[in-house]
Amino acid sequence: MAYIVAYFESAGRPSTGLDPLIRIRLVDTGDIVAEDIMEEVGSGFYRFDFYTYDPTKDYTFLADAVRLSTKDRFLEGTNGEYGKITDNISLMSDSIDCRVLLMKKLFTNRLELAEGTTDNWILYDDDNVTPLCIFDARDKDGLYILQLQNMASKRSKATE
């Protein structure tokens, strides 16, 4: 799950008491995957709980605070571009921020150093089976770290 947070203001002041409508689309197909009213958090901030969020997909959203003037009415955002999620996500309040989700996975999910010297550092997704990131393990001098057979190096999925 991810949160989408939007900030609305009018004439430089936070806008409260709105019922902004959010519409989320998949970038590659244009299909609407979620559409609902955002929940007011306070001081002009509104939140949508994006339960079906998949960090491997690119989304765009448009939040519409219908009662505001055209200039202040719309906020848009995206979580990335063409699958480059970690390189393109903004920390702006009107964007999906999956960097926090990725950081949580880096600290809590199963991490394994497999046999061999290349593509041997594997971070697994929440299901503890699907590789999320695969890369070479190297030491401080840039030399490959070799994981020998029968020398397991695994971190189990953390419990919350």
Q: What is the pLDDT of residues 17-47, one digit of tens each?
A: 999 999 999 888 889 999 999 999 999 999 9
Q: What is the CATH number of the domain that holds 10?
A: 2.60.40
Provide the domain limits for residue 134: 109-155
User: Are residues 135 and 96 part of one domain?
Assistant: no
- The pLDDT of 85-96, averaged and rounded, is 38
Give the C-alpha separation, 63 to 83, whole Å.
22
User: Are residues 33 and 81 part of one domain?
Assistant: yes
Tell me the pLDDT tens digit for each residue of 127-145: 878 887 787 777 778 777 7
DSSP 143: P
Q: Which residues, 6 or more positions from 65, have their beta carbon under 8 angstroms from its beta carbon? A: 8, 15, 18, 20, 72, 73, 74, 75
Residue 74 is which amino acid? F
Give the per-residue pLDDT at 136.
75
How many distinct structural domains can be found in the chain?
2
User: Are residues 113 and 98 part of one domain?
Assistant: no
User: Are residues 93 and 25 part of one domain?
Assistant: yes
Residue 138 is which amino acid? R
Residue 19 or 98, more confident: 19
160 within a domain of the structure (yes/no): no
Residue 43 or 71, more confident: 43
Residue given tokens 């061999």 in the structure block: 116
- The pLDDT of 84-103, averaged and rounded, is 46
User: Are residues 68 and 116 part of one domain?
Assistant: no
